[in-house]
């Protein structure tokens, strides 16, 4: 059986990935079972480099604020800004402090400089996208930035009589941004502004602005650039999603947390579909945001189940969406030691490769009726691979040992705030923030 298991593993490279899949996917999703480990980002970066150079991929989308991501995209495409400032302001969740993300941005900019020097067309430039909403563990952003940007784009090109409101009306209804970003609202629905009369009015206006953007598409695409149009669409998706998220934060029903994680992944899915429309892209996020099956976790002691962004996108794209989960052997600096030998991770840990790409269907066939046991992580921040999904996975990336990089700030060590997310238990999937 050991020989059969070895036969199901390959080097982690673009060519091997493509051989596993029936078609070249428009979105190739690479998951990670934990955040904050540069070894996983190094592997992602190398795979993206190969996909660019060998398979024609031109975009990477990561689990970071989609609006902040525009800062990174501007830098890699045009050199706008300084790298230190881009890393500080272009990422959410603290990801900008990670060496692997810095190296990704630096390499993408260097690639585009070479492309410009060689006279290659703009379509050959690498692009960066964040595809998360403007959301953090402690709450959600004010809708001001995206609503005013969308309104400003439309006001510059569309008859004022067609606009549903003025910029002053938006400003008055939004009020102080602190009302929207109140951290206590994550724990206490009564502290949320999401179901106030102003918020309800803003939801209607956001819907009207998005409808006007769609209705005026022929004119707007002729009068402005495709880039400006795409950004306006992003502002519209984000504005409606943010207001829906704030509405959910004010919910007092037992379904409150399920609604919040659902809205978040719906926002992610909308941006990923927009990325897919631009051409083939590598997507990188937590496994639970990218898997096809329902995602589950516990928050505040309550079990949650929802369809991930990957499941939503996969339902739309079919074979043009592919998902490679990542599983780990050890993260010793987190207390995750050698996996039990009867788990998927334990079987792969016994092989000599430091990391490998696993043909999961072939591995399932080699195991026959001997199904691996589920692994239980002693640390809430690592979600082991679910062996129940082995046979129907597109593939699995396995990393044997994840070392701690010395001298680099660790976003994963941030204090987890009090509230629903902080109540996740080690036996459950961690909150995929």
Domains of the chain: which residue ranges? 141-279
Protein fold of 141-279: de novo design (two linked rop proteins) (1.20.1440)
Give dist(CA 139, CA 186) in Å, integer: 6
Among residues 429, 393, 426, 427, which one has the least CA distance to residue 30? Answer: 393
Specify the pLDDT at position 388.
92
> Which pair of tokens denotes residue 339?
């996996």
- Cβ pair 109, 41 in contact under 8 A: no
Specify the pLDDT at position 370.
85
Segment holding 315, helix H or strand E: helix 309-317
Among residues 285, 295, 261, which one has the least CA distance to residue 389? Answer: 295
Q: Please enumerate in sequence order all residues whose Cβ is within 8 A of that of 389, keeping only pairs 6 or more positions apart, or say none.
A: 291, 293
The pLDDT profile of the chain, 433 residues, written as one tens digit per residue, is 444 788 899 999 999 999 999 999 999 999 999 999 999 999 999 999 999 999 999 999 999 999 999 999 999 999 999 999 999 999 999 999 999 999 999 999 999 999 999 999 988 999 999 999 999 888 899 999 999 999 999 999 999 999 999 999 999 999 999 999 999 999 999 999 999 999 999 999 999 999 999 999 999 999 999 999 999 999 999 999 999 999 999 999 999 999 999 999 999 999 999 999 999 999 999 999 999 999 998 877 789 999 999 999 999 999 999 999 999 999 999 999 999 999 999 999 999 999 999 999 999 999 988 889 999 999 999 999 999 998 888 999 999 999 987 544 444 443 332 223 322 322 333 444 4
Q: pTM of the predicted model, to two decimals?
A: 0.92
- Cβ pair 360, 390 in contact under 8 A: yes
Rounded to the nearest 10°, the torsion over CA 106, 111, 117, 118 is 170
- Cβ pair 11, 352 in contact under 8 A: no
Specify the pLDDT at position 406.
58
Segment holding 178, helix H or strand E: helix 177-181
Among residues 90, 128, 92, 132, which one has the least CA distance to residue 108? Answer: 128
């Amino acid at each position: 059986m050991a020989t059969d298991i070895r036969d199901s593993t390959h080097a982690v490279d673009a060519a091997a990935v493509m051989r596993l899949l029936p078609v070249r996917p428009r979105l190739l999703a690479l998951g990670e079972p934990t955040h904050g480990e540069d070894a996983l980002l190094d592997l992602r970066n190398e795979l993206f480099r190969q996909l660019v150079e060998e398979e024609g991929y031109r975009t990477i989308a990561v689990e970071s604020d989609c609006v902040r991501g525009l800062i990174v995209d501007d830098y890699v495409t045009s050199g706008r800004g300084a790298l230190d400032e881009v890393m500080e302001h272009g990422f959410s969740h603290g990801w900008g402090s990670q060496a692997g993300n810095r190296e990704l941005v630096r390499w993408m900019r260097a690639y585009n400089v070479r492309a410009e020097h060689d006279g290659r067309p703009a379509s050959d430039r690498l692009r960066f996208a964040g595809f998360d909403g403007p959301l953090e563990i402690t709450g959600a952003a004010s809708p001001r930035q995206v609503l005013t940007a969308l309104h400003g784009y439309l006001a510059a090109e569309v008859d004022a009589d067609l606009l549903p409101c003025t910029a002053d009306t938006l400003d008055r209804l939004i009020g102080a941004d602190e009302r929207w970003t109140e951290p206590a609202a994550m724990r206490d629905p009564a502290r949320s502004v999401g179901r106030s009369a102003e918020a309800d009015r803003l939801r209607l206006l956001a819907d009207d602005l998005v409808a006007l953007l769609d209705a005026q598409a022929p004119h707007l695409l002729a009068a402005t650039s495709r880039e400006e149009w795409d950004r306006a669409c992003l502002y519209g998706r984000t504005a409606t999603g943010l207001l829906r998220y704030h509405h959910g934060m004010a919910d007092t029903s037992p379904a409150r947390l399920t609604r919040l994680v659902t809205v978040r992944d719906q926002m992610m899915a909308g941006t990923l579909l927009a990325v897919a429309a631009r051409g083939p892209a590598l997507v990188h996020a937590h496994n639970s945001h990218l898997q096809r099956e329902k995602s589950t976790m516990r928050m505040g002691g309550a079990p949650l189940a929802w369809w991930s962004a990957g499941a939503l996108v996969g339902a739309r794209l079919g074979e043009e969406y592919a998902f490679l989960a990542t599983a780990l052997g050890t993260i010793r600096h987190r207390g995750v030691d050698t996996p039990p030998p009867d788990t998927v991770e334990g079987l792969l840990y016994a092989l000599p490769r430091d990391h490998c790409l696993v043909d999961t269907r072939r591995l399932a066939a080699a195991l026959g009726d001997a199904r691996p046991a589920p692994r239980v992580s002693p640390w809430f921040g690592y979600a082991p691979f679910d062996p129940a999904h082995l046979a129907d996975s597109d593939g699995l990336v396995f990393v044997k040992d994840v070392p701690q990089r010395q001298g680099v700030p660790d976003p994963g060590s941030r204090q987890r705030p009090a509230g629903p997310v902080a109540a996740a238990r080690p036996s459950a999937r961690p909150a995929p923030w």
